[in-house]
Amino acid sequence: MRRMLLAIPDYFQTERLTVRRYCAGDGPMYWQMAHRNRDHLFPFEAHNAARYLRSEQDAENLVRDFSAQYALRQQFYLGAFDRQSETFVAQIYIGASNWDIPEFSLGYFADVDHEGKGYVTEAAKGALAFIFEHLEAERIILHCSDANPRSADVARRCGFVQEAHLRQSTIMANGQRCGQYFFGLLREEYEQQRAK
Ligand SMILES: CC(C)(COP(=O)(O)OP(=O)(O)OC[C@H]1O[C@@H](n2cnc3c(N)ncnc32)[C@H](O)[C@@H]1OP(=O)(O)O)[C@@H](O)C(=O)NCCC(=O)NCCS
């Protein structure tokens, strides 16, 4: 796959959201977001880079780094913003796990003030179209803790198939043991679901 020749858009839109690549100047917004979400991200995303920011400059540096990685097709961080208010509501992460298949991983979090409104499912469904159409994926994977039913619910609402459940296979940030669900979605499954 000649990944640098792919025409990859910088954004996509859904009914309520603009989901876009971060850009220079997003630092202040990202710093506020990181501050707001530090505790929210702790249980299941303790290592999220947003939790380690110490200043607005750190945040500006991070969003520019995300943007550079996007340009190089290494990984794709996108912010989901309400189309009307332009408020940040969620983040989508797309990892290039295997360009030969091609296979990508999907990750997400909801802004703490915008959980439970369906924004993550809406952004994640949009991301599936982006990944299959623009990144030419054949398979998308997603994994989450079995102690995080909200995350597994997003995966199921998006049509992912549970491929494995590794019980008591990992340690959470709070030190407790939990299992991990592994989900997958093949191109033909995605196309069948869209045709329904
Ligand atoms: C996991 C996580 C992303 C799930 O977010 P979420 O807000 O529950 O997911 P959605 O945005 O899709 O919202 C779904 C909820 O909104 C409700 N909803 C309200 N309006 C809706 C609409 N228009 N469309 C769809 N759902 C809607 C749904 O009924 C559902 O509610 P329920 O949880 O009571 O069943 C979020 O809890 C989070 O960020 N957690 C911390 C970080 C994390 O765990 N990341 C994932 C690591 S694998």
Counting residues of the chain whose pLDDT is more than 90, the rounded percentage is: 98
Q: Is the pLDDT of residue 1 over 80?
A: no
Q: How far is the CA of 65 from the centre of ligand 1 (A)?
A: 27
CATH 3.30.465.10 corresponds to the domain 10-195: no
List the end-to-end C-alpha distance of the chain, in Å, as a whole number.
Answer: 30
Q: How far is the CA of 30 from the centre of ligand 1 (A)?
A: 20
Confidence of residue 196 (pLDDT cuts 50, 70, 90): confident
Any atom of ligand 1 within 6 Å of the Cβ of 64? no
pLDDT of residue 182: 98
pLDDT of residue 128: 98
List the alpha helices (DSSP H) in the chain. Answer: 27-41, 56-71, 119-134, 149-157, 187-195
Q: Tell if the pTM clears 0.95, that is, is over it.
A: yes
